[in-house]
Chain A
């Protein structure tokens, strides 16, 4: 087994759902449920869940090959600005040839991140697809 079930289990909330950390000190927002504001270091933070809707600000079509990645290549990695104003970088799926455009509306979807084939665990998490 290459993938650790307990590692993923521990972080599944941040992979399955889109949380935003809102800082009570500097007021900035950052993607992921975090114990500390990454901008100012304050632990006066609270968390909100994103609607999952956003706009694709930029993207790149990736051919870079790494372990067992050929199943999902080529793939698109995009920068999404969520409606809550926070940016998140992730994979854009459900895309036909030459369909992606900057400014497109996208929504969060649950997909497989990795799977320890043939007998290990399957990791799921959030990606994005055009609305």
Chain B
């Protein structure tokens, strides 16, 4: 049995001080007609224990939105969203469920930034990385230095951020819908040399929903989930190079080979928590030339990516799948991607785990 994405919705990623986890979930479901008829709910979320003192968020969400269907929460750090879609596809394919609501929801603004930074750092190994003072931007900075030492220019990373901001302008739910210039990097605060705030994802609360069904919608062409895979990398401190994102690169290569798809012709959403990571992945895949020209990609992170659309940690993967779904169907902010395939890539930490979900129209 197949698994099809038949609908979804997304809230603007923002500092939603007036909305908690349950409110965000309700808001996004309210805006999603397809979300009502479901027999299973999977909530994707990374931080509720830390930011809202809540366990078993799946059940509390379905109770709040007035459903009486089985629910559970999926947590796999930053890649929770794609993990939830993966699980939804397998529930539907196996016949365990008919229509699954995948609900990505995250609050990152319940505490000051330094506390949010601490929560986010816990995607790393608390005992042997976090306690030792290692943080996500420290790894990203080390990876950036490695790439720069191997000839990748600084502008390559800045260029990615500029491109993401351009893409996000027309995306209704994007957090940062404005353009930035190379000039603005000069005044950007350093997180970890040479990495700056402008190399980092936008941090906001968010909720996104997609419905995964065993049957396509009648009369339209719901994209089918034709690939859903995951790979685990080595901890960054055990690699020869932090920037060797072998799990992501290997998984993307395998998905493309298996389906015979060309990433440059597909609607692709790459995990760009820090600008260095998509560049490292594209380099690993052999797509990066000396000029860092990514013009060969027709639909690369049209959402604006984590960089500009934003990164509500555990919800991000659901946003990605929703965006690809929209690009392949009735359009995202007026743009469509008439591609045969749409691919969402997500990872947690610096390639600790990598996940890929591919839709085919």
Which residues of chain A have a CB within 8 Å of any CB of chain B? 7, 11, 14-15, 30-32, 38-39, 58-67, 69, 72, 75, 77, 79, 87-91, 113-114, 123, 125, 127
Contact = CB atoms under 8 A, between A and B. Distances in A.
A64 B131 contact: no
B117 A65 contact: yes
Given A77-B134, A89-B237, A90-B134, 6 more contacts: A14-B127, A30-B238, A62-B133, A64-B136, A75-B133, A127-B132
B62 to A, nearest CB: 32
Nearest to A10: B127
A65 B128 CA distance: 19
24 contacts: A7-B127, A38-B234, A38-B238, A39-B234, A60-B142, A60-B145, A61-B193, A62-B133, A62-B135, A62-B137, A62-B138, A64-B137, A65-B113, A65-B114, A66-B114, A67-B118, A77-B134, A77-B135, A87-B238, A89-B236, A90-B134, A113-B133, A114-B131, A123-B131
A66 B121 contact: yes
A65 B191 CA distance: 8
A16 B117 CA distance: 26
Contacts of A39: 234, 238
Nearest to B113: A65
A58 B142 contact: yes
Contacts of A67: 114-115, 117-118
B238 A63 contact: no
Interface string B338-357: 00000000000000000000
Contacts of B55: none
A38 B128 CA distance: 14
Contacts of A90: 132-134
Interface string B134-152: 1111100110011000000
B190 interface: yes
B299 to A, nearest CB: 32
Given A11-B127, A72-B133, A91-B133, A63 B237 contact: no
Given A64-B138, A65-B114, A88 B237 contact: yes
A-B complex: 4 closest residue pairs judged by Cβ atoms: A60-B141, A66-B118, A89-B237, A66-B117
Contacts of A127: 132-133
Main secondary structure of the interface of A (DSSP, over half): strand
B229 interface: no
A67 B116 CA distance: 9
B235 interface: yes
B114 to A, nearest CB: 4
A32 B117 CA distance: 26
Nearest to A93: B133
Contact of A64 (B117, B142, B236, B242): B117
Contacts of B240: 87
A120 B38 CA distance: 48
Nearest to B239: A87
B138 A58 contact: no
B192 interface: yes
B221 interface: no
B189 interface: yes
A31 B238 contact: yes
A20 to B, nearest CB: 12
Nearest to B195: A60
A27 to B, nearest CB: 15
Nearest to A79: B142
Nearest to B196: A63
Contacts of A64: 117, 135-138, 191-192
A63 B192 contact: yes
Contacts of B237: 31, 79, 87-89
